[in-house]
Amino acid sequence: MKRAALYVRVSTDQQTVENQTRELRQVAERRGWEVVEVYSDAGISGAKGRANRPGLDRMLNDAKRRKFDIVMSWAIDRLGRSLIDLLGTIQELEACGVDLYLDQQAIDTTTPMGKLVFQVTGVFAEFERSMIQQRVRAGLSRAKAHGTKSGKPIGRPPVDAALERKAQRLLEKGTGILKVAKSLGLGTGTVQRIKQEMRGISRPLEGVAA
């Protein structure tokens, strides 16, 4: 007799998993499968990943321990709504040697035809991973072409030329870095850099004048 685990999920606290559980138990009884465990995520969106779905996480961990032979769920969207997460869940079950039954989609991988699901999902999972990698590489290439890294400008933002000349004149008069920065609304680091460039030195200043 096959050992079956039920995975049931609803998105809101106002819904109940009882209907799903009852229907799946009836299917298991008709097929001669013994329900050994019920895993539930009540009030949790299917868009959330495994880390935020304790029922799903416990079910997949128990699948690795071969505590059951097949996972039964009401519909494919009960397992997940994110394609990459959904494919990952199905592939993990296959890797554990655990079959999958989805009532509403009439998917049963205990049958020869149903086993095609595992093969097809493997192809789609690889395709999805490839597309994600391509989008990441394209994004980095665009960022590099525009002088940015991860979408953020590289280096300091430019200082207005007129403002920089005012800072230079004040510094030439002997005004301290802090006073120049405060009067012109510049950062002390920016004023310090301007002073360094005026002196033509590359080493940091040893002190900051008041």
Could you give the CA distance from residue 57 to residue 151 in angstroms, rounded to a whole number?
A: 34
Domain 3-110 has CATH 3.40.50.2300: no
pLDDT tens digits, residue range 89-141? Answer: 888 998 999 999 999 888 898 888 887 776 676 555 555 556 667 777 777 77
pLDDT tens digits, residue range 50-70? Answer: 888 999 999 999 999 999 999
Which comes out higher in pLDDT, residue 148 or 8? 8
Contacts of 41 (CB under 8 A, 6+ apart): 8, 9, 10, 53, 54, 55, 56
Mean pLDDT across 177-200:
85
Which pLDDT value is given to residue 202?
Answer: 42
Which pLDDT value is given to residue 91?
Answer: 84
- Known catalytic residue: 73? no
Of 11, 45, 141, 183, the catalytic one is 11
Which comes out higher in pLDDT, residue 67 or 13? 67
Question: pTM higher than 0.75 for the full model?
Answer: no
98: nearest Cα among 113, 84, 109? 109
- Arithmetic mean of pLDDT over the chain: 81
